[in-house]
Amino acid sequence: MDVREQVAHQRVELEAAVAKALEVAGKQADAAEVAINKTTGISVSTRMCEVENVEFNSDGALGITVYRGNRKGSASTSDLSEAAIAQTVAAALDIANYTSEDPFAGPGPAELMARNIPDLDLFHPDEPEPDHAAAVAIAAEEAALAFDPRVKQSDGASYDSHYGVRVYGNSHGMLASYASSRHSISCCVIGEGKNGNMERDYSYTTSRLASDMWTPERVGRHAAERTVSRIDPQKLTTREAPVMFAADIATGLFGHLVMGISGANLYRKSSFLLDKLGEQVFPEWLNISERPHILRGMASTPFDSEGLATYDREIITDGALQTYLLTSYAARKMKMQPTGHAGGIHNWLVSSTGESFEQMLKKMDRGLLVTELMGQGVNIITGDYSRGAAGFWVENGQIQYPVSEITIAGNLKDMMQNIVAIGSDTETRSQILTGSMLLDSMKIAGE
């Protein structure tokens, strides 16, 4: 039996377990939700071209949530026998007896449940032998170590390949499942500068389909190239200057937007974007679209973790905020409709002003290119932003030298409004697909 047949058989078994749990719970609870994510795969890590760790994974627990009146109880089991399921339902019901009443608790609205489950081409399993997986990781390390004599040692490489099945059901009659896969290669190396100072950087590739990933040699060379470019950094004096975030760093700024418009932060009144629905929070040229059904998309899903159907949705149109991100619980709290975002966002496409990475540097002319951020200095309530950074100083549109031990600061409201351009060098490994981002000015604290 090949992997696809095994997974098809597994889906039938898991759906039956979820259906059984719902049947048992339905006799004693007012409502119920049951879900399981079963994941299988291999992770191999190497260091200095020697195998360091080999892990085989096959795990997943059946999570059962019951509602009795306005009380909620949850329990889980990895044993899918009928007796174990009955015991777990009983445990969840027992817990519900002791929880506080919450009028906003309960499954999502029945009319918003996913009924037609599209095939998003997410399932491309690969079962590499440990020796092959190790060879891939070692090939990345070898390419990195051969790139430049200043690359002195490897901090490790890895090859990961996992596939799994997600099944969700609830007392509205919703019961659906889908299979997906994810593969990745990563490599991290250390370089040595003139004074013995060490710098570290990394690279990685990830995809639903193993053959769509970068080659291990490309991952290794990219990790080494990034590391070598950082060797012998200089410090900057304190100043204000334009700041450009590399594409893989720019995703983080939009991640703060996700936090700012998430229901949990909004109903607690702990967001810098409170009451901003319909208002302009970005420049007029900027748009963000959500596309949950992109084939093979890294954040594609036919339904969210509450079983709500996912739809194409505009997040930002002409700079204005079009929607919040609401679970069913948050939506009831805020007297709004849930948006299908329980469990996270689904493939955000950020519009570009069309410039390449090099053209973005020329547009900035003189300023800071940020390639790494450190620390957690972001206050989602006020929008205050202050983080350690490293990157490169740019003059006349050309990278001059690496810089480190600096802090960049501003306020997220201002930063979002002051985006000058977004490049065409789109980061595709993230759930947020954006190019590099240029801001007109930020405070840079150095010497």
pLDDT at 205: 98
pLDDT at 154: 94
Question: What are 213-224's pLDDT values in tens digits?
Answer: 999 999 999 999
Among all chains, which residue has been given the structure tokens 């932060």?
Answer: 265
pLDDT at 447: 81
What's the rounded Cα separation, in Å, for the pair 268 and 253? 22
CA distances from 72 to 30, 84, 108 (A): 10, 20, 14
Q: Which amino acid is at 407?
A: T
Which pTM value belongs to this model?
0.94
Tokens linked to 124: 């491309």
Helices (H) and strands (E) in the chain — how many of each?
9, 18
Domains of the chain by range and CATH?
A: 3-228 (3.30.2290.10), 233-446 (no CATH)
What's the rounded Cα separation, in Å, for the pair 310 and 323? 14
User: In Å, how far from its chain's centre is CA 379?
Assistant: 20
pLDDT at 194: 87
Question: What backbone phi and psi angles, to 5 degrees, belong to 98?
Answer: -110, 0
pLDDT at 391: 97
Query: Please, what is the Cα angle at 420 between 414 and 426, to 5 degrees?
Result: 110
DSSP designation for 111? G
pLDDT at 1: 67
Tens place of pLDDT for every residue, the chain, 447 residues? 689 999 999 999 999 999 999 999 999 999 999 999 999 999 999 999 999 999 999 999 999 999 998 999 999 999 999 999 999 999 999 999 999 999 999 999 999 999 999 999 999 999 889 999 999 999 999 999 999 999 989 999 999 999 999 999 999 999 999 999 999 999 999 999 888 889 999 999 999 999 999 999 999 999 999 999 999 999 999 999 999 999 999 999 999 999 999 999 999 999 999 999 999 999 999 999 999 999 999 999 999 999 999 999 999 999 999 999 999 999 999 999 999 999 999 999 999 999 999 999 999 999 999 999 998 889 999 999 999 999 999 999 999 999 999 999 999 999 999 999 999 999 999 999 999 999 999 999 988
pLDDT at 130: 94
Question: What backbone phi and psi angles, to 5 degrees, belong to 333?
Answer: -60, -40
pLDDT at 40: 95
What's the rounded Cα separation, in Å, for the pair 57 and 339? 33
Q: Which amino acid is at 351?
A: S
